[in-house]
Amino acid sequence: MLLTILDYTGTFVFALSGAAAGVRQRLDLFGVLVLSFAAASAGGILRDLLIGALPPAAIRDWAYPALAGVAGLLVFFCFPLVHRLRHPVQVFDAAGLALFAVLGTQKALLFDINPLAAAMLGIMSGIGGGMLRDVLLAQVPQVLKAEVYAVAALAGAAVVVAADALGLPPVAGVAAGGLLCFVIRLLAIRYGWRIMTARWPGTGDGND
């Protein structure tokens, strides 16, 4: 029950991030709605496909497309409100990342997937929506370039797996992991945390 509410929340915030990215690229209303749904649902659909939970919740349950639609309309018609948040796409994206990374891990554990695979699935469902959003706008996904992105999802998923191994109630692991992932990501944005980049002579000289 709580997990479903958190899943709806993650859907909503990722939809906000997709819609905000779409409005910035001057897409029309339906383009914005398609992008909302893609960003909101791609991670969860990928997770459900991979654990064989078919049809995926994001298709079966009308609340997912409805939430994505509401988020899309909200951003489209009230963009100035959304815009007040300094980096709306990134903040909503961080919240969606945190929620989906921990919920994806938890759902995979419920399907008797082993812990390492569950964490992988959590990370994939956390980053899937944002990746599709960026790919559809013909941009290199944030996850590949951004400061401390995949590592935040990894931290959140690890907490969920550890809580499960310790026999703690799922909600504790999900709450702690989600909070950790969200805070790491926000701090990384705020302070521009960067992980090292390889800078070898000879890199970046074309597509050899």
Q: Measured between alpha carbons, how far is 148 from 41 in angstroms, rounded to an integer?
A: 23
Residue 35: phi and psi, rounded to 5, are: -65, -40
Of the pair 175, 187, the CB lying nearest a second copy is at 187
Residue 32 · residue 76 · CB < 8 Å: yes
Of the pair 172, 183, the CB lying nearest a second copy is at 183
Using the contact rule CB under 8 A, the part of the chain among 92-100, 159-167, 170-178, 197-205 near a second copy is 197-205
**Counting contacts by CB under 8 A, is residue 91 touching a second copy?**
no
Selected from 77, 165, 171, 191, the binder of a second copy by CB under 8 A is 77
Residues 32-71 that bind a second copy (CB under 8 A): 32-35, 45, 49-52, 54-56, 59-62, 65
**Counting contacts by CB under 8 A, is residue 14 touching a second copy?**
no
Taking each helix axis from N to C terminus, what angle separates 88-110 and 150-165, rounded to the nearest 10 degrees? 30
Residues 102-121 that bind a second copy (CB under 8 A): 113-114, 116-117, 120-121
Count Cβ atoms below 10 Å from residue 11 Cβ, excluding itself: 31
**Counting contacts by CB under 8 A, is residue 18 touching a second copy?**
no
One-letter identity of residue 52: G
Output the six-digit token pair for 38: 């893609």
Total length of the chain: 208
Residues 118-147 that bind a second copy (CB under 8 A): 120-121, 127, 131, 135-141, 143-145, 147
**Counting contacts by CB under 8 A, is residue 8 touching a second copy?**
no
Residues 154-193 that bind a second copy (CB under 8 A): none
Distance of CA 73 to the CA centre of its chain: 20
